[in-house]
Amino acid sequence: MDTTTALARFGLDREVLDATLGSLFERRIDDADVYIEHVESEGLVIDEGLVKKGSRSIHQGFGVRAVVGDKTGYAHADVIDRASLLEAARAARTIATESSTGGTRALGSAHGTRDLYPIRPEGDPLTQDLGAKLALLEAIDRRARAYDPRITQVQASFASERRVVLVATADGRVVVDVRPLARVSVSCIAVDPAKGQRQSAGAGGGGRWEFPVFFEQGAGGVAHWEYWTDEAARRAVLLLDAVDAPAGSMDVVLGPGWPGILLHEAVGHGLEGDFNRKATSAFAGMIGKQVASPLVTVIDDGTIATRRGSLNVDDEGTPTQRNVLIENGILKGYLQDRMNARLMGVAATGSGRRESYAHMPLPRMTNTFMLSGQDAPEDIIKSVRRGIYAVAFGGGQVDITSGKFTFSGAEAYLIEDGKVTAPVRGATFIGNGPEVLKRVVAVGHDLSLDEGVGTCGKEGQSVPVGVGLPTVRVNDITIGGVNVAKRGGA
Amino acid sequence: MSGANGGEGLQSRLRHPQEDLPAAAQGDTAGSIDMAGRCAFALAVAKKAGADFADAMVAGGRSTSVKVRLGNVIEVVQSRDQGLGIRVLVAGDGGLKTATTSTSDLGDEAIERLVTAAVAMARRTAADPFAGPPESGFEPEPGAPIDLETWDDEVYRLDPDRALQMALATEAAALGVDARFTNSEGGEMSWGYSELHVTDSNGRGRGKRATSASLWTTPVAEDGPGKQRDYWWTSGRWLADLESPDSVGKKAAARTLRRLGARKPETAEVPVIFEAPIASGLLGSISGAANGGAIYRDSSWLCGKLGQTIAASGVTLVDNPWIVRGAASRLFDGEGLATRPMTLVEAGVLKTWVLDTYSGKKLGLPSTRSAWRGLGGSPSPGTSNLWMNNGDESLEALIAGTKTGLFVTGTVGGGANTVTGDFSQGVVGLWIEDGKIAYPVEEITIASTLAAMWSAVDGIANDRHPGRATSAPSFRIGKMTVAGR
């Protein structure tokens, strides 16, 4: 979408942006932007075999920002018109006290030169015929119930949105990005009355996809939606036979894909520019230092086509890029938005993201993953005498100051004498971010990215992200099970 | 991060009222939107498009926040929000069909387009014999307060300079406590108001409005190689109900300092005391599991346990929406039913599910008038002001009565699985030796099952913080697995 079309859609023209930025620059400020957004979204849920309700919404609004030094003035509203923009500019600029002769700013007309997620109108999940989406949900429900008689409940949803973002920057650029996003989620409950066991499991995926992609072949040699359905059902049933998880420090083999949540929590947040500029991160001042095993190279890449975490430009209008965070164990750089980059004297890395117009941008991750190593995954498992093999996780969290992070196991097994044995019940894993990657002793050659389900929260703002990992062995992670007797070590 | 949600750690402390607000006081009109008029317009469009029932909600508000760090203002944010949400129901074969829609554009054209599309969408969904609005229960309950006092003009008219001074004073009070405070994540004061109007196609309408204010600070302390942060916060509908900046700052400081020098203990099975703010978070493992939506789907560890003993006899949980100035108080629920207090767990016995009209019908029970509704969707059940009754000993006595154990003062992810009843959580805390606090601990998890934990509550302190929507006193669980080294 070009700038003029986007502006017309918001009922605005170039002059309004000039006037708004001009109003901001009547004060002496270092940076400013106007962010305008229109989001149309739809949600459909099948529950107890029936699509009982659907929802659709349109949310739009703008945010006006003035930055001086490390200070930010921000005003946002959901009525997009000249008067509201100028009122917001007057509110935002109160952060700066000195006047300036800046006057009106003349904007250029740059817009994106690449499109990582083009969507043809006929493939747009949002505007797809409702019948096709309802049929998909009904097929998921039938497939999950047919998987095993112990599956008692199935809930599945199809969520899609189209987000049109326009950013006018202080250096005279106007950038427009149209961001599609769609996701299937499946959750199953399995009950074994004889054992008195009840388990739940979920799976799903998607991305900045056209609708037919959901029906293309994915993992397991079946369509993506079929794979996620099978995974949710399989895992719920599997857990009915799970044994208590051990408690204590153990060697852990993480499977490929979504277990990359380890990187997101253990190092990703701690490498965001704001925490390091303020020196509140456990990683502050460690550029050039060894923070991981030499086997470990960690990348944050916002430019992978059609991925959930990818963006053509970030929410400050900076093109995204491939950022090397850790190379062969050495800390190479932080993730930067414009403000923190300026204050730290480095370049912005295309990492300024916001949940919506009602939020200020923060340095955030996009798709964060570890590069493949040399080892065969089966050899890595064989190398562990007694430990845990974890292939799926729920959520995670980190305290970036102390560096302690957790992630919650959703599918994990005991490793006994180099063999994967019994599944274990859900347990929380805890570790120390600056230390844990130093204990990576093997990296597989099987990097894969997750299926497209991640949502990252920071300071109350949620944004879609991706993670990825090859099979890795990490020694000495604490597992929060109940079984002290089965405590083990390498 | 997670498939569902998760976080870096600082979320959900600054929640502005966006959903169902407590009842309005009379008098001053803060907003400029004709809320009743917009609802009426949306309902007329729904009727014209063929809806058999609809309820429309318009909400709006303004808020401001001022954030400081190391003695300087670093952020000033002004927010203005508005939105309309409508639920439309169309009669189908053997039941009603539902769709919902919401928009921040309150113009005629946007409402007309979205509501018409919602009715068309509803026709395509499945008929549900249990769907539909409540039929009775709209009259106020005897004994309900006349005025929940949700509106404070002092918050509404708060001078930003005064707010700035409060934020500065809060952070300064924390950093001034000790020379080890070398850094800060800042301090913030935020305040504002929200208004709401709901009308349904049977002509029932109601409006509410509320003010709210909150204040927090997160100091960072350093001692040798170790760096720690913690926080404290206060919030209220009335400015006068906030804790003083000095108190908030000093509590945040004390909470941070006691974490310095933390070690990782040996794996062990010991008694665990949850400090009141953390104990409050455990109440969701009962109230969430007793939610009608989880019960009718047979996906709760409490399924089949109504009327049974699920906790030790000292455990009583009360849900009371009638607390004057309370954080989650309301006279009417999200379906317009008159609220009333209820006892969820009495002396360890599970007394009721938490129900809205839909989940009640699914279970053959009346609604407990616990529906909440946001702009974007249908009503669903939830608690209001939920608390666990105080015990009769002090926290000091509870600790002194614990020979060896763990005193949990913070969480780092994980928690209760209300489907399976498993519990596993990353925590920080203080190790107890011989009835005394010995040293801080971190990088540990605690685990058990919810059934075992609630049955093993063997000591309850008298330190519940009444100002929060969900509150519990500190309490001790006889034995849990603590995983460390």
Are residues A213 and A276 located together in one domain of the fold?
no
**CA–CA dist A295, A373 (Å, integer):** 7
Q: What is the pLDDT of residues B118-141, one digit of tens each?
A: 999 999 999 999 999 999 999 989
Q: Count up the domains in chain B and report the number.
A: 2
Are residues B229 and B278 located together in one domain of the fold?
no
Range with the poorest average pLDDT among B42-46, B226-230, B374-378, B455-459: B374-378
Are residues B178 and B321 located together in one domain of the fold?
no
Q: Does A149 have pLDDT greater than 80?
A: yes
What residues of chain A lie within 8 A of the CB of B12, using their CB? Answer: 460
**What are residue A431's DSSP bridge partners?**
A405
- Identify the residue with better confidence: A444 or A171: A444
Determine the pLDDT at residue B15. 27
| Residue B100 domain-assigned (yes or no) | yes
Burial label for A243, CB within 10 Å (0-12, 13-18, 19+), is middle
Nearest residue of B to residue A266, measured between CA atoms? B8
pTM of the model: 0.92
Return residues 73-102 of B near A (CB < 8 Å): 73-83, 98-102
Determine the pLDDT at residue B467. 84
* Nearest chain A CA: its distance from B86 CA (Å): 10
DSSP H or E run through A55: strand A50-68
Closest CA to A241 of A176, A148, A165: A148
Q: Do A460 and B121 touch (CB under 8 A)?
A: no
Nearest residue of B to residue A79, measured between CA atoms? B105
Please, what is the angle between helix B108-124 and helix B35-49, to 10°?
Answer: 40
* Pairing verdict, β B268-274 and B404-416: parallel
Q: pLDDT tier at A485 (50, 70, 90 boundaries)?
A: low
Mean pLDDT of B182-208: 94
Q: Are B198 and B57 in contact (CB under 8 A)?
A: yes
Mean pLDDT of B193-203: 94
Determine the pLDDT at residue B384. 97
How many pairs of residues across A and B have Cβ atoms under 8 Å apart?
325
Q: Does A64 have pLDDT greater than 90?
A: yes
Q: What is the 3-state secondary structure (H, E, C) of chain B?
A: CECCCCECCCCCCCCCCCCCCCECCCCCCCCCCCHHHHHHHHHHHHHHHCCCEEEEEEEEEEEEEEEEECCEEEEEEEEEEEEEEEEEEEEECCEEEEEEEEECCCCHHHHHHHHHHHHHHHHHCCCECCCCCCCCCCCCCCCCCCCCCCCCHHHHCCCHHHHHHHHHHHHHHHHCCCCCEEEEEEEEEEEEEEEEEEEECCCCEEEEEEEEEEEEEEEEEEECCEEEECCEEEEECCHHHCCCHHHHHHHHHHHHHCCCCCECCCCEEEEEEECHHHHHHHCHHHHCCCEHHHHHCCCCCCCCCCCCECCCCCCCEEECCCCCCCCCCCCECCCCCECCCEEEEECCEECCCECCHHHHHHHCCCCCCCEECCCCCCCEECCCCEEECCCCECHHHHHHCCCEEEEEEEEEEEEECCCCCEEEEEEEEEEEECCEEEEEEEEEEEEEEHHHHHHCEEEEECCCCCCCCEECCCEEEEEEEEECC
Query: Which three-class secondary structure state does DSSP give residue A455?
Result: strand
Are residues A27 and A105 located together in one domain of the fold?
yes
Q: Count up the domains in chain A and report the number.
A: 2
DSSP H or E run through A63: strand A50-68
Domain boundary among B229, B256, B283: B256
Residue A308: CB partners within 8 Å, gap ≥ 6? A181, A183, A206, A207, A208, A367, A452, A453, A454, A464, A465, A466
What residues of chain B lie within 8 A of the CB of A59, using their CB? Answer: 83, 102-104
Q: What is the pLDDT of residues A263-277, one digit of tens each?
A: 999 999 999 999 999
Domain boundary among B224, B256, B288: B256
Residue in B5, B110, B449 nearest the CB of A455: B5
* Nearest chain A CA: its distance from B448 CA (Å): 6
Mean pLDDT of A318-335: 97
Q: Kindly compute the dihedral angle of the four CA atoms of residues B161, B166, B169, B171, in this order, to the nearest 10 degrees.
A: -110
Q: What is the largest CA-CA distance in chain A?
A: 79
Are residues A304 and A413 located together in one domain of the fold?
yes
Q: What is the pLDDT of residues A209-253, one digit of tens each?
A: 999 999 999 999 999 999 999 999 999 999 999 999 999 999 999
Burial label for A146, CB within 10 Å (0-12, 13-18, 19+), is exposed
What residues of chain B lie within 8 A of the CB of A457, using their CB? Answer: 1, 5-8, 11
C-alpha A186: how far from chain center: 18
Return residues 246-275 of B near A (CB < 8 Å): 259, 262, 264, 267-269
Beta strands in A193-319 (DSSP E): 197-207, 247-254, 298-301
- Domain around B60: 35-256
Q: What is the pLDDT of residues B277-330, one digit of tens each?
A: 999 999 999 999 999 999 999 999 999 999 999 999 999 999 999 999 999 999
Q: Are B386 and B287 in contact (CB under 8 A)?
A: yes
Are residues B313 and B272 located together in one domain of the fold?
yes
What residues of chain A lie within 8 A of the CB of B227, using their CB? Answer: 280, 282, 401-402
Q: pLDDT tier at A112 (50, 70, 90 boundaries)?
A: low
Q: Does B10 have pLDDT greater than 70?
A: no
Range with the poorest average pLDDT among A38-47, A392-401, B356-365: A392-401
Are residues B274 and B195 located together in one domain of the fold?
no
**CA–CA dist A429, B444 (Å, integer):** 9
Q: Do A404 and B228 touch (CB under 8 A)?
A: no
Q: pLDDT tier at A400 (50, 70, 90 boundaries)?
A: confident
Are residues B249 and B320 located together in one domain of the fold?
no
Are residues A332 and A202 located together in one domain of the fold?
no
Closest CA to A220 of A238, A208, A233: A233
Are residues A36 and A185 located together in one domain of the fold?
yes
Substitution target from A411, A482, A484, A487 for chain B, most B beta carbons within 10 A: A482
The token pair that represents A159 in the structure block: 């969520």
* Nearest chain A CA: its distance from B53 CA (Å): 14
Mean pLDDT of A177-192: 96
Q: Are B16 and B155 in contact (CB under 8 A)?
A: no
Q: What is the pLDDT of residues B91-115, one digit of tens each?
A: 999 999 999 999 999 999 999 999 9
Instruction: Give how far Cα A204 sits from Cα of A52, A187, A256, A311, Å.
Output: 20, 9, 16, 21
Q: Report the amino acid identity of residue A332.
A: K
Determine the pLDDT at residue B24. 32
Q: Does B27 have pLDDT greater than 90?
A: no
Domain boundary among A204, A239, A274: A239
**What are residue B411's DSSP bridge partners?**
B427
Q: Does B23 have pLDDT greater than 80?
A: no
| Residue A10 domain-assigned (yes or no) | yes
- What count of other Cβ atoms lies within 10 Å of the Cβ of residue B250? 19
- Identify the residue with better confidence: A8 or B314: B314
Q: Does A335 have pLDDT greater than 90?
A: yes
Mean pLDDT of A91-104: 78
Are residues A345 and A400 located together in one domain of the fold?
yes
Let me know how long chain B is: 485
Q: Do A426 and B422 touch (CB under 8 A)?
A: yes
Nearest residue of A to residue B428, measured between CA atoms? A404
Q: Are B442 and B230 in contact (CB under 8 A)?
A: no
Domain boundary among B256, B273, B303: B256
The token pair that represents A419 in the structure block: 């063999």
Are residues B307 and B242 located together in one domain of the fold?
no
**CA–CA dist B14, B134 (Å, integer):** 33
In chain B, the percentage of residues whose pLDDT exceeds 70 is: 93
Determine the pLDDT at residue B33. 79
Q: Does B17 have pLDDT greater than 90?
A: no
Let me know how long chain A is: 490
Determine the pLDDT at residue B31. 52
What residues of chain A lie within 8 A of the CB of B377, using their CB? Answer: 55
Determine the pLDDT at residue B32. 67
Q: Does B2 have pLDDT greater than 60?
A: no
Q: Residue for token digits 């959750």?
A: A187
Q: Residue for token digits 């949850």?
A: B274
Are residues A231 and A157 located together in one domain of the fold?
yes
Instruction: Give how far Cα A377 sits from Cα of A256, A469, B383, Å.
Output: 9, 12, 48
Query: Tell me, what DSSP letter sits at residue A396?
Result: E
Q: Are B234 and B248 in contact (CB under 8 A)?
A: yes
Determine the pLDDT at residue B378. 87
Establish how many alpha carbons lie within 13 A of residue A237's alpha carbon, considering only the half-sphere containing its beta carbon: 16
Query: Which three-class secondary structure state does DSSP give residue A489?
Result: coil
Q: Do B424 and A94 touch (CB under 8 A)?
A: no
What residues of chain B lie within 8 A of the CB of A53, using their CB? Answer: 98-100, 122, 125, 378
Are residues A167 and A295 located together in one domain of the fold?
no
**CA–CA dist A352, A364 (Å, integer):** 6
- What count of other Cβ atoms lies within 10 Å of the Cβ of residue A11? 10
**What are residue B436's DSSP bridge partners?**
B433
Q: What is the CATH number of the domain that holds A19?
A: 3.30.2290.10
Q: What is the pLDDT of residues A9-49, one digit of tens each?
A: 888 999 999 999 999 999 999 999 999 999 999 999 999 99
Q: pLDDT tier at B225 (50, 70, 90 boundaries)?
A: confident
Q: What is the 3-state secondary structure (H, E, C) of B229-275?
A: ECCEEEEECCHHHCCCHHHHHHHHHHHHHCCCCCECCCCEEEEEEEC
Are residues A31 and A171 located together in one domain of the fold?
yes
Residue in B105, B117, B183 nearest the CB of A60: B105
Q: pLDDT tier at B19 (50, 70, 90 boundaries)?
A: very low
Are residues A45 and A120 located together in one domain of the fold?
yes
- Domain around A49: 3-239
| Residue B216 domain-assigned (yes or no) | yes
| Residue A169 domain-assigned (yes or no) | yes
Q: What is the pLDDT of residues B410-437, one digit of tens each?
A: 999 889 999 999 999 999 999 999 999 9
Q: Does B230 have pLDDT greater than 70?
A: yes
Residue in B4, B74, B79 nearest the CB of A358: B79
Closest CA to B191 of B281, B67, B63: B63
Mean pLDDT of A168-185: 94
**CA–CA dist B178, B249 (Å, integer):** 12
Q: Do B448 and A95 touch (CB under 8 A)?
A: no
Average of per-residue pLDDT values in chain A: 93
Determine the pLDDT at residue A489. 41
Q: pLDDT tier at A107 (50, 70, 90 boundaries)?
A: low
Nearest residue of A to residue B96, measured between CA atoms? A52
The token pair that represents B348 in the structure block: 């360890």
Q: Report the amino acid identity of residue B308.
A: Q
Q: Do A199 and B420 touch (CB under 8 A)?
A: yes
| Residue A488 domain-assigned (yes or no) | no
Q: Are A177 and A114 in contact (CB under 8 A)?
A: no
Instruction: Give how far Cα A437 sits from Cα of A264, A266, A331, A448, B332, Å.
Output: 12, 8, 11, 18, 53
**CA–CA dist B441, B429 (Å, integer):** 5
Are residues B310 and B209 located together in one domain of the fold?
no
Mean pLDDT of A375-399: 95
Q: Are B414 and B425 in contact (CB under 8 A)?
A: yes
The token pair that represents A309 in the structure block: 């975490």
What residues of chain A lie within 8 A of the CB of B378, using their CB? Answer: 53
Determine the pLDDT at residue A109. 57
Determine the pLDDT at residue A3. 85
Domain boundary among A213, A239, A265: A239
| Residue A231 domain-assigned (yes or no) | yes
| Residue A313 domain-assigned (yes or no) | yes
Closest CA to A60 of A10, A126, A13: A10
Determine the pLDDT at residue A91. 92
Are residues B234 and B304 located together in one domain of the fold?
no
Q: Does A88 have pLDDT greater than 70?
A: yes
